[in-house]
Chain A
Amino acid sequence: MAEYSKLARGSFTSNGFAKIINLPFVPDYVEFFNFTVVNSAATSQNVAYGKWQYPMAQGTAIQQGYNATPTLIYDTVASGGISTFSAGQLLQYGPTLQIVSISKASAAVVTTSTNHGFASGDVVLMNGLYQSTTTGMPQIAGIPFTVTVTGLTTFTIPWNTNQSNYTALAGSPAGATLKKILYPYLYFPGSTVISAITAPNGTTIPTGTVQVDTASAHNFVVGQEVAFRIPSLYGSVELNSLPNIPTPGSPIYGYVDQVTDYNTVIVRTPFAAAFTAFNSNQTVSSVPGLSFPQIVAMGDVNTGGVQISGGSPLYPSPYSVAIGDGNAATNGVLTNRINTVNGPAIQGAYVNNTSQGFIIGAGAGTVLTTSDLVGVANDLIYWRALSHDMGLPL
């Protein structure tokens, strides 16, 4: 019975953080050896071996490591263990969480009733958001937001709720919930909701450009051709690619002049000199049928390209930037860039980021409480993953 089993093996050098392994299948069995640890003197808390098998819970593992003696013992990892993933379809969500409150602020602070377990850069979708039948913040329900985590039950979202038509949420209103979008950037750059548009100021926003802030990561690059889709309620309709008032039917596009960070870009557009102010202060009564303002990557001409110079790689694999600016930190390392499994490509071209495989986490053991499943930096890990034909019970 091995007609359809799938087996894979490989190795990597750990950096001490969770390691994602992409495979052409989703394994139901994963095991690994830390060659560096087994090839060294026994040291307390070092993990030599780890294993996960379906139907163990996702994110758990069995590990074998050294205790204080040091003697090799078996141990379990309750979280941060081994998990599998299948990032193949959109519209997959994590568990639903109750929202306790949302503040009137910019950025708005969201508090959940239980630990959310998010990391900064995750994307959430909020639902309901009525404080009463006529008040609350339903204007932002249904918008994908990038979160910046501030505590176990708190995070901020890049939206200004400190406006007259928004009422703070408090006391866990019925129906006010949120859930994590598991794979928000399977295809990018795409269509992103606009949170603010700022007119040129001659300095940080050069003449002929506008600053566009988005609710989640835009993943644009310099040179990307973009279009605006702004419903009239939000103002700024002059920026829309259509209708073009002087030349009906001829779309007007802008292009990305600068990328400030994950959710801010400077867009060069012919209408930067004069446009109606952007207004995100929508009323609660407008909500049934309220469409959101969007900035859209144009599908036919993604002209963003990486400048070829001595210091930049030619046609690197595409990457997304979920949070932060993705640029070099002080140590010269590019931060917050999440590489895709795709091969070399022109940056800005539309990226299919679907993938599947498994993750070896950096969780600690139940007994070996300061151990690190995936090892420490420079540990050499050999892994094996299988997908079996048959399992009993199925």
Chain B
Amino acid sequence: MELWLLSNRLLILRDYIVSAASQINAGGGSNGFNPTNLGLTDFSLVATTLDTNNAYKFMSGIEGMDRFGTGPIRSSYFMLASTELQSDFDALVGQGVLNNWNYPSNASALPSEWGSVYNLRILTSSEAPVARNAATNNLGVLNDVYYNTVLGKQALTHISQDGYSMNLIYRDPYYSGMLAQNATLAVKFAQSQALTQDTAIRNLLSTRLSNLGV
């Protein structure tokens, strides 16, 4: 989960979640699209939904400390979001959204963790699912739709397939071509992913408020 969506295997898991998990359209934003951009009430609503569904949180809270600019962090679910939404999160800083550098201690912050809001800790990736130009407002303006996956601990699992042991494969350059230019180093293993509890996962769909950086 730390550096989520780095491999093809996780891209498969990403699309699998987009297909399988139920969806909530963000409505707490102000941009007039459906779904709207993310508003504070959306974070609260989706966390409440998972709480009501008895989902387990991933992370315990971080107690407040006497340090300038920091605030306590609640026990949290993970929200997996696109890096393209980070400027939207920045716009909500000071309204309950904290960047991970404003944690009392960011020792438990994951490398891809952007920050925290209410009972969610937000991980971002450039490979998060996004449907380009999939929303149009009443003025005919287009916006992208982001699939922000919010999940509890028991929502997903992966299963290592027994009887198909992991192989580390190395072929030296001699075997990979006459010019001996390229070696091959690979790991071969068999896994499958499964949604173990649909009530503990939601796709929070949103559009974007800010312009997309280039």
- Which residues of chain A have a CB within 8 Å of any CB of chain B? 3, 89-91, 93, 96, 125, 127-130, 132-134, 138, 141-142, 174-177, 186-188, 190-191, 227, 229, 241-243, 248-249, 251, 287-292, 294, 296-300, 350, 352, 354
Chain B 161-179 interface mask (CB, 8 Å, partner A; 1/0): 0000000000000001100
Chain B minimum-CB-distance residue to A191: B22
Provide the bound-state CA to CA distance between A242 and B48, in Å.
12
Contacts of B21 in A (CB 8 A): 191, 296
B25/A290 in contact, CB under 8 A: yes
**What are the 9 A-B residue pairs with the smallest beta carbon separation, nearest first?**
A289-B27, A299-B195, A175-B140, A128-B136, A187-B19, A190-B19, A174-B140, A3-B177, A127-B136
B141/A187 in contact, CB under 8 A: no
Query: Contact partner of A177 among B18, B20, B31, B136, CB < 8 A?
Result: B136
Question: A225 to nearest B CB, angstroms?
Answer: 10
Chain A CB within 8 A of B142 CB: yes
Question: A69 to nearest B CB, angstroms?
Answer: 48
Contacts of B129 in A (CB 8 A): 90-91
Chain A CB within 8 A of B54 CB: yes
Chain A CB within 8 A of B131 CB: yes
Interface size class of B (residues with CB under 8 A): 35 or more
Chain A CB within 8 A of B90 CB: no
Provide the bound-state CA to CA distance between A291 and B42, in Å.
12
Query: Contact partner of A288 among B33, B130, B139, CB < 8 A?
Result: B33
Provide the bound-state CA to CA distance between A352 and B19, in Å.
10
Question: A363 to nearest B CB, angstroms?
Answer: 30
Contacts of A174 in B (CB 8 A): 140
Chain A CB within 8 A of B93 CB: no
Provide the bound-state CA to CA distance between A142 and B207, in Å.
12
Provide the bound-state CA to CA distance between A352 and B8, in Å.
14
Provide the bound-state CA to CA distance between A296 and B32, in Å.
28
A3/B182 in contact, CB under 8 A: yes
B18/A91 in contact, CB under 8 A: yes
